[in-house]
Amino acid sequence: MLRDVATFLERLLGFDPATFDYSWVTAVVVIGAASLLAFVFIALFAGPVTWWERRIAGRIQCRIGPNRVGPQGVLQWLADGIKCFLKEDLVPAAADQGLFRFAPYLVFGGYMATFAVLPFGANLVAADLDVGLLYLLAITGLVVIGILMAGWASNSKWALFGGIRSAAQLVSYEIPSAFSLMSVVLAAGTMSMQGIIGQQGAWPWEWFVFKNPFLFAAFFLSLTASVAEGNRTPFDLPEGESELVAGYHVEYSGMRFLWFMFAEWGNLWVIATIATVCFLGGWQVPGVTPAEIAASTGLAFWGWQALSFAVFVAKASVLVAFVIQLRWTLPRLRVDQLMITCWKYLVPGALLNLAGVLVLLAVVPDQGVADWAIRGATLFLGLALASVFVWKARAGYLADRDLYRRMEGKELWYPPYRLP
Amino acid sequence: MTDPVVHAAVFYVLAAFTVVGAGIVALSGNIVHSAFALFATLFGVAGLYAYLSADLLAVVQMLVYVGGISVLVLFAVMLTSGLSDTGHTNPAFRLAGGIAVLLAVTAGAFVAASAVPTGVESAVAPTTGAIGDALLGPFVLPFEVVSVVLLAALLGAVTMARGWKKGGAR
């Protein structure tokens, strides 16, 4: 097929096949295929995850959620997508036409561009850049500019407020996010995404999150900052419905609105992936090293790819579910609280954390007795926290069930494991 | 990708993107359009760095100029009143224009006289480690001096932003 494309181009452009260098055609085709795959992945992730989120929200708010389109409502996202396709593409008369039309693509392009370095499995990555993590932080700039552009070009005060709030938030939270990811770079000694994964192991005690207490704290700092950068509750001031209607995308309709929504839910995956890669060992499969996977051939190679992909998706999905639950559990912060959280707590906290990581890296020799003792203690701390989380969730459910039984005289309308 | 035609094509596309952006910055009647075009120009420069295999420099350009300076400029422009009033004329226009033309001609002469580098022949090699070693090795003194200057600027900005009330009290 590649050869066909090359032959076609050669006939079209009249190059001499004997001297013509095909490598750039290959490069263009490979880049195109990788972009298309990433786009398909975003579409197949962002769509169903909206349904998933709405079902979780329904459960948390004691209602059902979308369950009409398809079995249990799983096709709701398709219905929403088709609806948005068919809607009229409105541009307000007073809007800045060109910028208004262009802004959604800039926002979506900014999120799309992160997929260039995000790994999906052992060898499943579009470009394992040497500066991968820094690139991830830098490319967010496109999103900020796009949001400002959307807010300004709409020529509506709500949209402008939303845009400026969002840009201020993104720029502020980039600092704690960068500092906490810097501690990972220090621990790994590289900024390449695959390199960071390679420095960790498959078992939890080999992950960076449990390497020492400071990296454990950095995990939560980075996750908080990412959630804020993704404009999600409790940090979703930019689209505060009660005061701003819908923020920077209030004037958009149809497909252009859908690009913003795409970017917002696609970003859930980006948040989960960064945390998985930097702290949770990425796609590593127990019992096999990355070098062994790269050396395998044929069916075994593809088997390892599939297995590592499954491991990665499983870890990321847990984080996605956690972030969704966070959204429907916590109330929204006020603007001043948002800025105080960032500048008075997260930024100094991240700096102290960085100093702590540096000291521990310098003092404690890697793989020594002290190192393993610290790892063990941190892992114990993490497991204790996780058990408290699960136990509290269970206690909340039991309390609800008893209350319902006492008030209504019958069982809760459905148990937590069954969908209505 | 060693084809010189492709190399040149990539270079000219990036250069045209940058130059057209710069042109809009200078000539647009709408200052917000100028600010967005500045973003495009800085982005184009990052593209040129990436094209010249300077991967760290390209990403830092994105981080500092596209993500930082551009957003700052946009904020400043959007918080300024009288945005659409473009009737102002700089009284020093003749002098400034003359100097600008002089600079442009000089720069043009330099460009015409020098060989334009269109891409490096070697494969893309990571530069991060080398830059890090250089910054903490032979260039550690300039690096530290720059950080002190930036600290002074930061403190100055904070002091000015806090302001002074009458009677010397803050």
As for the ipTM of the complex, it is 0.77
Indicate if B46 and B25 belong to the same structural domain.
Answer: yes
A115-119: long-range contacts (C-beta < 8 A, 24 or more apart)? A115/A38, A115/A41, A115/A42, A116/A34, A116/A38, A117/A193, A118/A193, A118/A270, A118/A273, A118/A277, A119/A193, A119/A194, A119/A197, A119/A273, A119/A277, A119/A282, A119/A283, A119/A312
Give the nearest partner residue to B3 out of A24, A152, A174, using CB atoms: A24
Assess whether B69 and B140 both reside in one domain.
no
Are A269 and A48 a contacting pair, CB within 8 Å?
A: no
CB contact under 8 A, A138 and B55: no
Picking from B103, B112, B117, the residue whose alpha carbon sits closest to that of residue B48 is B117
Q: What is the pLDDT of residue A19?
A: 60
Give the A window 111-130 contacts with B, CB below 8 Å: 129-130
CA distance A318 to A360: 29
| Partner residue facing B56 (CB), from A20, A99, A131 | A131
What's the pLDDT at A415? 66
Same domain, B77 and B21: yes
pLDDT of residue A40: 86
What tens digit of pLDDT does each residue of A141-162 get?
A: 888 888 888 888 888 888 888 8
Distance between CA atoms of A44 and A115, rounded to whole angstroms?
A: 14
Write down the pLDDT at residue A249.
Answer: 82
Amino acid at A368: G
Q: Do A131 and B1 touch (CB under 8 A)?
A: no
Pair B132, B72 in one domain: no
**pLDDT exceeds cutoff 90 at A387:** yes
Q: Which residues of B touch A160 (CB under 8 A)?
A: 78
Q: Which DSSP symbol is given to A284?
A: P
Q: Quick: pLDDT tens for A201-255.
A: 888 888 888 888 888 999 999 999 988 887 777 877 777 666 777 778 878 888 8
Residue B116's domain is classified under what CATH number?
1.20.120.1200
CB proximity list for B141: less than 8 A, separation 6 or greater: none
Cα atoms found within 13 Å of the Cα of residue A124, Cβ hemisphere only: 22
| CB-nearest partner of A152 from B3, B32, B68 | B32
**Average pLDDT of A262-268?**
85
- pLDDT for the residue A389: 87
Domains of chain B: total: 2
Which phi and psi angles does B119 have, rounded to 5°?
90, 155
Torsion angles phi and psi, residue A334, rounded to 5: -85, 165
* Same-domain status, B76 and B157: no
Two tokens, residue B90 = 């700089």
Fill in the DSSP letter of residue A154: T
Low-confidence ranges of chain B (pLDDT < 50): 1, 170
pLDDT of A388 > 90? The answer is: yes
Predicted confidence band of residue A334 (pLDDT cuts 50, 70, 90): confident
- Interface size A-B, in CB pairs within 8 Å, comes to 76
> Per-residue pLDDT averaged across A323-350, rounded?
87
B117 lies in the same domain as B148: no
Mark whether B72 and B142 lie in a shared domain: no
Tell me the average pLDDT across A87-97.
Answer: 82
> pLDDT tens across B27-41, in order?
877 788 888 899 889
State what percent of residues in chain A have pLDDT above 90: 8
Contact assignment for B62 to A149 by CB distance below 8 Å: no
Query: What is the C-alpha to C-alpha distance for residues A399 and A151, in angstroms, rounded to an integer?
Result: 45
Distance CA A305, CA A293 (A): 8
Q: Using CA atoms, how far apart are residues B37 and B30, in angstroms rounded to an integer?
A: 11
Structural domain of B38: 9-81+110-123
| Contact check, Cβ <8 Å, A160/B60 | no
Q: Which of A27, A82, A52, A71 is nearest to A325 (CA)?
A: A52
Q: Which of residues 135-174 of A touch B (CB under 8 A)?
A: 135, 137-142, 144-145, 148-149, 152, 160, 164, 167-168, 171, 174
B170 to chain A, closest Cα gap in Å: 21
The per-residue pLDDT for range A164-204, each reduced to its tens digit, is 888 888 888 888 998 999 999 988 888 888 888 888 888 88
List the one residue out of B70, B81, B87 whose CA is nearest residue B25. B70
Domain map (residue ranges) of chain A: 87-362, 364-420
Give the pLDDT of residue A171. 83
